[in-house]
Chains A and B, each alone.
Chain A
Amino acid sequence: MLSVISKNRRLYLSIQSTALRCREIVIGVITLLFGFPQHASALELGVGDWQAHGFVSQGYTLTSDYNFFGNSRGDGSLDFTEIGVNFSGHIQPNLLLAAQGLYRNTGGSDREDFRLDFANLDYHIPLGERATLGIRAGRVKNPFGLYNEARDVVWTRPVVLLPQSVYLDSLALRQAMIASDGGILYGRYAAGDHALTTEFLVSEPLDNTGGAAEFLAGIPNVRGEFEGRPLLVGRMGYEWQEGRFRLMFSAVDLDRDFKSTTPGVSSGNIQTFYPLASAQLNLESWSFTGEYGRITSKRSGFTPNGAVLENTSENFYVQAQYRFKSDWSALLRFDSFTADVNDRSGRYNAAITGLPKHNFYARDLTAGLRWEFQRNWLMAAEYHSVWGTALLSPVDNPGLMQKNGPERWDMLTMMISYRF
C-alpha cells in the first residue's frame, strides 16, 4: 500500500509541474483574449456552412479538508483547465463531418492532456414528413442523460460542475463514459409540439485510457487490457415544444474481460449496467431538472475462490435554475451518491474494509451563480457543502484510504471561459 501511495505522489508531482506550465499559458491566453474582445460567434471558414468553434476555460478550486482537482486546500488549485477547438460542416446537404481536439487538466482526476474528443461522420435521411433516421460513425460522444455529450464545455453546464453523483468527474470512469469508437443509429419522430427521439450506440469503449482499467477492476495500480463485447448505450426521450418539457431514459451496458499483466493479479470479467431516468422542465425564467440512476457492477475472477462481487449504487440529483436577468442565472442543487444501496449509512462496508463510513456516500448541497458578462465570456461560481467522501479522487487525496478525515467538507469552485 505504501508503494502505491508514493507512486501516486510521484505521479502527482510530475502532473503538477506540467500543469504549472500549461496554467501559465492558459492565463496568458485568457488575458490576451480579454484584451481584444471579439464579437465573432464562430469562425466561418468561407466554404458552405463550414464553421470552427473553440473555448478556453480556466477554473479555480478551494476546498476545506480534501483535495478536488489538484492540491485545492490552503491557497486553492488552478488545476482545472479545458481548451477545445472543433470544426464541422456538410460535405453533402445530409452528410456532416465534425471533429474536436481537447486539452483537459483536472489535477489527479484527468491526466490525459491532449486527446481527440470526437471525429465523426453523420448521415441522415427523412422518412416521410415527420421522421428522420440517421447514422453517426467514428469517435462519437456517448448519448447518455441530459448533459453527457458536451460536458467538457462549461457553456453547456448549468454553472461550474455537473452533479457529481451522476456524471462522476473525479473518478477514472469518466473517460470511458464520454466518448467511444463506433456507430450510433438514431431516429426522431415529430408531430407538432411532440417529438420522440432515440439513439443506439455500439462501440469499442475507451476503457484502457484515463486509469479506467484500475478503477473498473477495483485494484489500485493494476496493469492490463480490457477486451470483449462492445459497449452498448441506448437512450430514448420525449420532448414537448423543443424541450420545454423533456423525459429521457438512458442505459449503459458494459461487459468486459480484463486481461491482467500484473504478476499476482488474476484476469477477470466486469459487467456494468447503468440505467438513468431524466426529467426537465424549462420555463421562461425557471428550469427544474432531476436525474436518477443506479449502477450495478459484477466483478468475477479477481478473487482466488472465484466469488462474484456484486454491488449497486444509487445516483441522483434535483436542481433548480433561475434566470433572473438575461445574462445572469442562479442555481440550487441537491446531489446524492450512495455507493451501496444495501448499506446506505456505509456501516457494513466500513466494518469489512476498515475505512470510515463516509467513504461510501456523498451528499452535496450546491448553490451557484453564472454571469455572461460580455458576449462570448462567462464567469461562474459554485459553493458546495458536502457530507461524505465517496466521490473524491484517490490520486488527489493519497491519504483518503488511510486517514479518518471529517465527514463534512466545503468547496468553492469558480470558472472563467471565453469561446468563439
Chain B
Amino acid sequence: MEFEPVLTIYKMLNIRLFSIFKHRPQSCYRALTYLAAWFTFAAVLMPWSGSAYAANPAIVPYSMTHQDTQLTRDELREIFFGRQTRWRDGSPLRAFVLPDQHPMHIRFSKEVLGVYPYQLRSAWDRMIYSGTGTPPSVVESLEQMKTLIKETPGAIGYIEK
C-alpha cells in the first residue's frame, strides 16, 4: 500500500517514455546519438583528466646530502613516521614536514606514503607524549623547507617537481 504512489509515478513515466519512442522513432535515434556522443566525450576526457592531474607538479622526497639515495616507499614510511633516525651509512637523519593541513603535506601523505595524514599525526603524538621518539620537525612553508634541507646535515623533506 505504501509503495503505491511510487508505483504510480513509475508507471506514468514508463508510459510516457514508451509513447515518445513509439510515436516518434526519430527521438529514439536522437537519444542513442546523445548517448554515443556522451561516451565518446567521456572517453576523450578521461585520459585528459588523468594527464591534467599528472601535469600538477609531483611531490617527491628530497635530500641535499643524500640525493643519490633511492628510497623505497617502505623506507620513506620508516623515516616520516619517525622510526628510522639514521641513514644507511649510519649518519644522523632529520626529517621535515609541512603542517598537517597543508595541501602539499596531504598530497605527500596520500600519494607518496600511501597513508592518511591523521595516521601520521596520531603516531607522532603517541611518540611525543610517551617518550618513544622524535617526530619530523614541522616547517611553515615550502621556502623554509628548502632552506632547512640545504642547511641541515642529513636532512630530508619533500618538494614539488
Q: B130 touching A149 by the CB < 8 A rule?
A: yes
Q: Is B133 an interface residue (CB 8 A)?
A: yes
Chain A residues with CB below 8 A from B128, complex form: 51, 53, 86, 88, 150
A40 to chain B, nearest CB (A): 8
Given A88-B133, A90-B92, also A155-B83 (CB < 8 A): no
Q: Is A19 an interface residue (CB 8 A)?
A: no
Q: How long is the Cα–Cα vector from A41 to B97 in the complex, in angstroms?
A: 11
Given A90-B92, A94-B86, also A141-B123 (CB < 8 A): no
Q: How long is the Cα–Cα vector from A48 to B154 in the complex, in angstroms?
A: 10
Please give the number of chain A residues whose Cβ is less than 8 angstroms from any Cβ of chain B in the complex: 46
Given A39-B140, A93-B86, also A284-B131 (CB < 8 A): no
Q: B119 touching A141 by the CB < 8 A rule?
A: no
Q: How long is the Cα–Cα vector from A115 to B32 in the complex, in angstroms?
A: 76
Q: B116 touching A282 by the CB < 8 A rule?
A: yes
Q: A244 touching B119 by the CB < 8 A rule?
A: yes
Q: B118 touching A323 by the CB < 8 A rule?
A: yes
Q: How long is the Cα–Cα vector from A387 to B130 in the complex, in angstroms?
A: 33
Q: Which residue of A lies closest to B125 (CB)?
A: A156
Chain B residues with CB below 8 A from A241, complex form: 114-115
Q: Is B81 an interface residue (CB 8 A)?
A: yes
Chain A residues with CB below 8 A from B125, complex form: 150, 153, 155-156
Chain B residues with CB below 8 A from A188, complex form: 83
Interface residues as binary, B57-91 with A (CB distance below 8 Å gives 1, 0 otherwise) = 00000000000000000100110010101100011
Interface residues of A in 106-150 (CB under 8 A from B): 118-120, 122, 132, 136, 140-141, 149-150
B61 to chain A, nearest CB (A): 16
Q: A88 touching B134 by the CB < 8 A rule?
A: yes
Q: B137 touching A42 by the CB < 8 A rule?
A: yes
Chain B residues with CB below 8 A from A141, complex form: 130-132
Chain B residues with CB below 8 A from A323, complex form: 118
Q: A242 touching B77 by the CB < 8 A rule?
A: yes
Chain A residues with CB below 8 A from B123, complex form: 242-243
Q: A136 touching B132 by the CB < 8 A rule?
A: yes
Q: B99 touching A375 by the CB < 8 A rule?
A: yes
Interface residues of A in 145-170 (CB under 8 A from B): 149-150, 152-153, 155-156
Chain A residues with CB below 8 A from B83, complex form: 132, 188
A419 to chain B, nearest CB (A): 9
Chain B residues with CB below 8 A from A156, complex form: 122, 125-126, 129
Binding-face segment, A96-104, A218-226, A310-318, A354-362: A96-104
Q: B92 touching A48 by the CB < 8 A rule?
A: yes
Chain A residues with CB below 8 A from B126, complex form: 149-150, 156
25 contacts between A and B (CB under 8 A): A41-B99, A44-B137, A86-B128, A86-B129, A86-B131, A89-B134, A90-B85, A93-B93, A94-B86, A96-B85, A98-B131, A100-B131, A118-B131, A141-B131, A156-B126, A190-B74, A190-B78, A192-B74, A242-B77, A242-B81, A242-B113, A242-B123, A243-B122, A244-B119, A326-B101
User: Contact residues of A with B, CB < 8 Å?
Assistant: 39, 41-42, 44, 48-49, 51, 53, 84, 86, 88-90, 93-94, 96, 98-100, 118-120, 122, 132, 136, 140-141, 149-150, 152-153, 155-156, 188, 190, 192, 241-244, 282, 284, 323, 326-327, 375
